[in-house]
Amino acid sequence: MSLPIKISVAKGDGIGPEIMEVVLRIFDAAKVPLEYEFIDMGKNLFEQGFSSGMTPEAKASVERNGILFKGPMETPKGKGMKSINVTARKVWSTFANRRHFKSLHGVDTVFSKAGIPIDITIVRENIEDTYGGVEHMVTRDVAVGRRFISRAGSEQVIRYAFEMAKKEGIKKVTCGHKANIMKMTDGLFLEVFYEIAEEYPEIKSNEIIVDDLAMKLVSKPNEFQVVVLTNLQGDIISDLCAGLVGGLGFAPSANIGDSISIFEAVHGTAPDIAGKNIANPTSLLMSGLMMLRYFGMMQYAATIENALLYTLEQGIHTGDFGDKNIPSKNTTDFANIIINNFGQQPKKGKAKDIANIPTMFKAPLQPDKQKMMASVALEKETIVGVDLFIESELLASEIAEILKPKLRQGFKLVNISNRGTQVWPTGSKFTECVNHYALRFEARKDAEIEAADMFAFATVLSSKIKITSIELLKILGDKKSYSLAQGQ
């Protein structure tokens, strides 16, 4: 692709415009071969009636250029609006969120004072999980959210983590998960992790339960190099790691997709200091450096990063960090000092000095339809029963008695659970219940059952109970594809 590369730029809300201005000025001073196409996204678009938080022209720009460089953005609260940040990542299928957390000299933390260097990359799945935002009030007292983990989505982000590690000479990739509890969803993610890990024998792979991961990150952070996680867990762990290196103001972020990628600051919009020219542009600048390396502009990125590191080593800082005995710089002056330090080399932690390489980036081809990602069905699928979720304030034993006359021959009520804990046919009187039950029915083992049979059965039972949702029980090959209740 010929230079310069055109990118879509959204300045953001709050402090966004002022930190974006100085970052682009740093790029221009370094003569980075980029062309900017400014677009409208963020809070003011919501207020103008654009429910997605962006104009059609902005959407077209990003889909034409394939790159969005964005400042922090705010979604209005309490108005039913979806987060513009999450929407952008999901709509454009940027399946891998990469955040690099590294100790910076001049940014004091507990670990820097103890002489423990931090250098961790978190790769977070970016599309699925609870971030589908599919929720329902199934009774007046109970809200339910769906969690989506797919084989294809897991493969995308996990393969990205291993490919990134391979290209950058990283020797270890860890999978953080909660498969001990969420055996179907996190279990699938972990299964895919080990399938893909076999393709990279030169990279050490291991797993860790996410709560143990959280503890070890703050006690032995040097044990980790790359950690790949599902969306929600990755979100939490990413912010934890930001705390290890000084906060979100020093946490660059890239959202990588096959066609479109987004580079952004993930800290807040800080409206209380907006327009005061005192905001810290470091996170956005470092995210921009990730973008330059994504383009193969290694030398440009190294020049700017070395100037930034040298500036920090000199004790230069904005008001949110640094030695309080040294007067802080405003946003503009901080950026100007970085520019003046082009060519300087920090004494500690230099950037990788790699010559520019030809960019592999290409503006995305415009697809004529959405892409379906599905694995080939290799095993037989057998329906063996159904879970009926119901609303009721009766006790489980009373529900079972009511349903007895309605049970068809060949169907058996196996158990009743409440919030995932079995309360019938056995259970504890100390188990407190809410007005939402799961009723598990199984068919006789020799029965040939189809989905229509299960829905017809549910229709019959609906005259006696208030059904809120239905899930079929399936066997894939010889493996159950549904979980058991606690105590079952």
pLDDT of res. 360: 67
pLDDT of res. 86: 86
- Is residue 12's pLDDT more than 60? yes
Q: In this predicted model, what pLDDT tens digit does every residue of 38-54 receive, in sequence order? A: 999 988 888 888 888 89
Q: In this predicted model, what pLDDT tens digit does every residue of 154-212 receive, in sequence order? A: 999 999 999 999 999 999 999 999 999 999 999 999 999 999 999 999 999 999 999 99
Q: Where in the chain is the domain with CATH 3.40.718.10?
A: 1-94+267-297+311-365, 108-245
Average pLDDT of the residues in 203-222: 97
- Is residue 410's pLDDT more than 90? no
Residue 379 CA to residue 385 CA, distance in Å, equals 18
- Is residue 2's pLDDT more than 70? no
Which residue type sits at 340?
A: N
Q: Cβ distance 385 to 475 under 8 Å?
A: no
**Two tokens, residue 284:** 């956005």
pLDDT of res. 402: 93
Q: Cβ distance 257 to 63 under 8 Å?
A: no
Q: Where in the chain is the domain with CATH 3.30.70.1570?
A: 381-480
pLDDT of res. 353: 65
Q: In this predicted model, what pLDDT tens digit does every residue of 232-272 receive, in sequence order? A: 999 999 999 999 999 999 999 999 999 999 999 999 999 99
Q: Cβ distance 111 to 118 under 8 Å?
A: yes
pLDDT of res. 224: 97
Residue 212 CA to residue 324 CA, distance in Å, equals 35
**Two tokens, residue 196:** 């893909």
Mean pLDDT across the chain: 92
- Is residue 71's pLDDT more than 60? yes
Confidence band for 78, pLDDT divided at 50, 70 and 90: low
Average pLDDT of the residues in 439-459: 88
Residue 470: count of CB within 10 angstroms of its CB: 14
Q: In this predicted model, what pLDDT tens digit does every residue of 109-127 receive, in sequence order? A: 999 888 899 999 999 999 9
Q: Cβ distance 313 to 105 under 8 Å?
A: yes
Q: In this predicted model, what pLDDT tens digit does every residue of 284-303 receive, in sequence order? A: 999 999 999 999 999 999 99
* Percent of the chain at pLDDT exceeding 90: 77
Q: In this predicted model, what pLDDT tens digit does every residue of 142-155 receive, in sequence order? A: 999 999 999 999 99
Residue 120 CA to residue 249 CA, distance in Å, equals 16
For the domain spanning 108-245, the CATH number is 3.40.718.10
Tokens 């979980």, residue located: 483
Confidence band for 132, pLDDT divided at 50, 70 and 90: confident
For the domain spanning 1-94+267-297+311-365, the CATH number is 3.40.718.10
Average pLDDT of the residues in 317-328: 93
Average pLDDT of the residues in 462-477: 94
Residue 362: count of CB within 10 angstroms of its CB: 10
Q: Does the structural domain 381-480 have CATH classification 3.30.70.1570?
A: yes
pLDDT of res. 80: 62
Residue 372 CA to residue 57 CA, distance in Å, equals 26
pLDDT of res. 84: 86
pLDDT of res. 355: 66
